[in-house]
Amino acid sequence: MSTASQRLGLASLGRVRAGGVPGYDPRAIEAGIVHLGVGAFFRAHQAAYTHELLQEGHHAWGICGFSQRSDTVPGQLAPQDGLYSLLVRDAITAPRLQVMGALRDVRCAAHEPETVVEKIAAPSVHAVTLTVSEKGYRQDPATNGLRIDDEVAADLGGQPPRTVVGQLVRGLQRRRAGGGAPIAIISCDNLTSNGAMLRRLVLDFVDRLPATERGPLGDWIATQVAFPNTMVDRIVPATSERDRAEVEELMGLRDEGVVVAEPFTQWVIEDAFTGARPPWELAGAVLTDDVERYERVKLRLLNAAHSLVAYLGVLMGHDTIAEAVADERIRGAVLRLLNDDQIPTVTPPPDVDLSSYRDEVLHRFANPALGHRTAQVAMDGSKKLPQRLLGALRQRRADGALPRYGALLIAAWMRALSAERADGSIADVGDPEGDTVRRLLASARNDHEAVRDVLGIRSVFGPDLSGDEELVEAVAEFYTALGRHGVDGALRAVGG
């Protein structure tokens, strides 16, 4: 019974029954890193690399983490002194459990905006890492600059910062005023050129400040603040109550902050720093001048395939990615998407063989122990498809090819946002453009018009795709087939 177990924490660390515990004293660690967005991925990825550094004696690199909006994670971790366990699961071996001690302080930025600013400004901090999801950056796809909504406007007006970019700029502003030690801001979200994009948003915010407030801040950021691009990879599903119960059983202590991950992990970081940095290469990270090619392979192969598995899986009633990819029809479609439409658009780095990469991705998706839900991967498609699919799709169109499986992926996303369940209600996988898409679908006179209208959402599809008649026709064909004959019918149509 969970109520009988003592909670994981510094005082109970000696009673951990199974699994590794930190080989360092977490109380002796200094927080040289600030992290924004203490979600599941960060705890299984960047914090796990950092934990390895601490194991090696690099004790200046603990992490002070901030959740952005809700205090759920601080509520789970603060009573545990920042300790949590990582449960690594694969199909064959028994799960491996490790208690992580890198997170030395965890707070909610919405409740303590001033503390975020203070920590970013602290001279002992040399890096800020971020996993705030695609949405968290508030990029305006039309301009590639910042989308000025009410919260950004409030941050620009000098309110305690609520947005990620506002927090960064106010922290950097204070840092400069306090001596101006260089720092690295490291986006770890699945976005194309994530570092360059974040730098642009930060400088855009600075440009919009009143001149008296701005001063030479922009010039200082341009020279003293590094925004390395990164490619991050590890499949980390949302933690379930079953995961927590399993860890409690194994460890003999209750851990509310458990994260679950696959064994595979990869972190490629652009070697472009202006000051001290954590030596993450000691934990297996790759520092390179060429992140772009790794990132493109990952987004266009792994993430695009993930989205297709997720949407077809949702439509066919498969709850998990592993179940969906075990379905030969979905697996076949994913292989065609990769072979026909995506692989021709990437030039891999020298150490990556695309066929092996593709096969490994499918093998990773098939991991039945992860329980990664199709609905989780399907969420926020309008923010993900541009990175995963639309760049490759435009490239194929410029080459004169019609990426039919890419068109199927768009049609499946549209259907997943609007599919009718058995009880007549409309499925909603969660997407910032969900209401817009459903409104456009409801008002169109036919499927062709519906697709043209949806591809006319410029913030997702840019100014060009709704005018591509051949593409609109292909998406409409699969959209109709999905509606009339289900996934099987659409796969027959796309294969023909």
Ligand X SMILES: O=P(O)(O)OC[C@@H](O)[C@@H](O)[C@H](O)[C@H](O)CO
Ligand Y SMILES: NC(=O)c1ccc[n+]([C@@H]2O[C@H](COP(=O)([O-])OP(=O)(O)OC[C@H]3O[C@@H](n4cnc5c(N)ncnc54)[C@H](O)[C@@H]3O)[C@@H](O)[C@H]2O)c1
Round to whole Å and give the CA distance between 452 and 436. Answer: 13
Alpha helices in 56-163 (DSSP H): 72-77, 113-121, 150-156
CB 334 to ligand Y: min, Å: 17
Q: Is 361 in the site for ligand X (CB under 6 A)?
A: no
- Is residue 236 near ligand Y by the rule CB under 6 A? yes
Choose the binding region for ligand X from 84-92, 299-307, 398-406, 488-496 (rule: CB under 6 A): 299-307
Residues 132-171 that bind ligand Y (CB under 6 A): 132-136, 164
Alpha-carbon dihedral of residues 355, 95, 327, 451, nearest 10 degrees?
-80
Binding to ligand X, residues 180-209 (CB under 6 A): 190
- Report, in Å, the least distance between residue 403 CB and ligand Y: 24
- Our CA angle for 97, 100, 105, nearest 5°, is 150
Q: What is the 8-class DSSP label of residue 69?
A: S
Q: Which of 85, 303, 342, 345 binds ligand X (CB under 6 A)?
A: 303
Q: Which does 306 bind (CB under 5 to 8 A by kind): ligand X, ligand Y, none?
A: ligand X
Look up residue 392 and give its two tokens. 């490759």
DSSP codes, 424-464: SPBP----TTHHHHHHHHHH-SSHHHHHHHHTT-HHHHTTT
Question: Does residue 375 contact residue 311 with C-beta atoms inside 8 Å?
Answer: no
Q: Which of 12, 50, 68, 230 binds ligand Y (CB under 6 A)?
A: 68
Chain CA centroid to CA 314, Å: 20
Alpha-carbon distances of 412 from 45, 311, 313, 444, rounded to whole Å: 30, 6, 10, 18
Site for ligand X in 227-256 (CB under 6 A): 233-235
Contacts of 153 (CB under 8 A, 6+ apart): none
CB of 32 vs ligand Y, minimal distance in Å: 20
Window contacting ligand Y (CB under 6 A); options: 16-24, 63-71, 149-157, 361-369: 63-71
Tokens of 259: 């994260």
Q: x/- string (CB under 6 A) for ligand Y, residues 174-193? A: ---------------xx---
Q: Which of 8, 146, 225, 232 binds ligand Y (CB under 6 A)?
A: 232
300 binds, among ligand Y, ligand X, none (CB under 5 to 8 A by kind): none
Question: Which of the ranges 66-74, 249-257, 283-291, 420-428 carries the binding residues for ligand Y, by CB under 6 A?
Answer: 66-74
Asked if residues 263 and 90 have their Cβ atoms less than 8 Å apart, the reply is yes
Q: Are 477 and 493 in contact (CB under 8 A)?
A: yes
**Residue ranges binding ligand Y (CB under 6 A):** 37-42, 67-69, 131-136, 164, 189-190, 232, 234-236
**Residue ranges binding ligand X (CB under 6 A):** 190, 233-235, 302-303, 306, 377, 384
